[in-house]
Amino acid sequence: MKTAPTVSPNGTWILITTLVLMAQPTVGGAFCHAQANAITEGQGSQSEKKTNDTPWKARRDLVQKNSQRRSEFNYYESKVPPYTLPDPLLANDGTTISTVNAWNQSRREELITLFRNKVYGNRPEAEYSIAFEQLAEQKNIWNGLATGRSMMATVSIGDREFSFPFVLFVPNQSQAPVPAVIHINNRYFIPLEKAVSENDPFWPAKTLIERGYATASFHTSDVDPDRKDGYAEGIRAFFAAGKPPTPDAWRSLSAWGWAASRILDHLETQSAIDSEQVAVVGHSRGGKTSLWAACEDPRFAVAYSNNSGCGGAALSRRAYGETVGRITSSFPHWFCESFAEYAKRESDIPVDQHELMALIAPRAVYVASADEDLWADPKGEYTALVSAAPVFELLGAKSITETTMPPLNQPRIAGKTGYHIRSGGHGLGEVDWNWFLDFTDRLAR
């Protein structure tokens, strides 16, 4: 089985302003089950496993511990610098954006250009084709629930080729096309055989199938190595024919998001999948990627960011936990060179991460944090989501507007946005997945 559609040079698509629902009523509702107080085994500290109605705030013992361990970084709310967020509805020429047409026709493009030039880099403008080959297939797995396929995507420019693998599972028993989830795996590649035999909590394919979703996963480093010195081996060097990247060229986060879009290209050819109901999901650096992927490709109906922190869901201007200076020096291959220029001067960045989420509106966004992951700045992640509300509202979509954080282990959902902060540290597990799927199930109601 091979297909080879030709795509546009930079892989971007026309913005669709109509919200795409995430699940068919005949699919999502059948698998919805309560996860409101579930805690993944081993994730939560003993002192924080009980839920209550108290808004979350960073635990004093963790603030002190992290401050002692990384004294050069701030973990105290009292030390967050004063800041003013840029207004996503204020155009570059100073005019206020007050209509859907003004947002779609001008302001959205202004913002995405700023993010490309100042944070994530610009994807290359080069014609290419992509083909998908099935390498292996297992039918009727999990007592007949699904079919699993090992796939290879091959990108061609002239006589040059670049390939990366991914794994796909599709439910067998649905009477209608099903929604799907594309997982950006920043940890390891999970081959077909392992995904069938072991329901890995980082990508629990069986759980997703049981909840009524098709799902695909790829490993980031198979597309662009997650190393400072990995450029020559990845898709970015392939597009540049081996030449060094220019200062404003795309970096790894953008490359990984581009790969998620290429898997979506394949899902569009599958009659069992409703390609207008596809979510993109990532954890940590993968969560940064999922948000940017949904900005670049409006075909994604939902973006889920898990513990993504600086350069992802968290506001840069708060300079809480990981900072722009630290992330760009430790991971220079993630962001274009301009982002590093704002180290210790975050308030000068012309954009901030609430505008990243605004670029996804009126499609759906779900953000997740973890109680012990102060490095990722949970409050900054939540505040960014809330601060995107004016754009969601302008585009006719309800969103979270409550500025007080929700209690621990109690997801908050409003319209097309959702958020939870769970017990435990930096990780992605079944409890995160089930709360996220509860959110996407609701979109079909």
Catalytic residues: 284, 426
Query: Is the Cβ–Cβ distance between 356 and 381 less than 8 Å?
Result: no
List C-alpha distances in Å: 274 to 215, 269, 270, 352.
12, 10, 8, 33
Query: Is the Cβ–Cβ distance between 284 and 306 less than 8 Å?
Result: yes
Distance, in Å, from the CA atom of 225 to the CA atom of 211, rounded to the nearest integer, reads: 32
Distance, in Å, from the CA atom of 237 to the CA atom of 227, rounded to the nearest integer, reads: 14
Q: Give the residue from 224, 220, 247, 222 showing the smallest Cα distance to 237.
A: 224
Query: Is the Cβ–Cβ distance between 133 and 151 less than 8 Å?
Result: yes
Single-letter amino acid, residue 440? T
Distance, in Å, from the CA atom of 317 to the CA atom of 310, rounded to the nearest integer, reads: 10
Query: Is the Cβ–Cβ distance between 322 and 426 less than 8 Å?
Result: no
Distance, in Å, from the CA atom of 142 to the CA atom of 225, rounded to the nearest integer, reads: 33
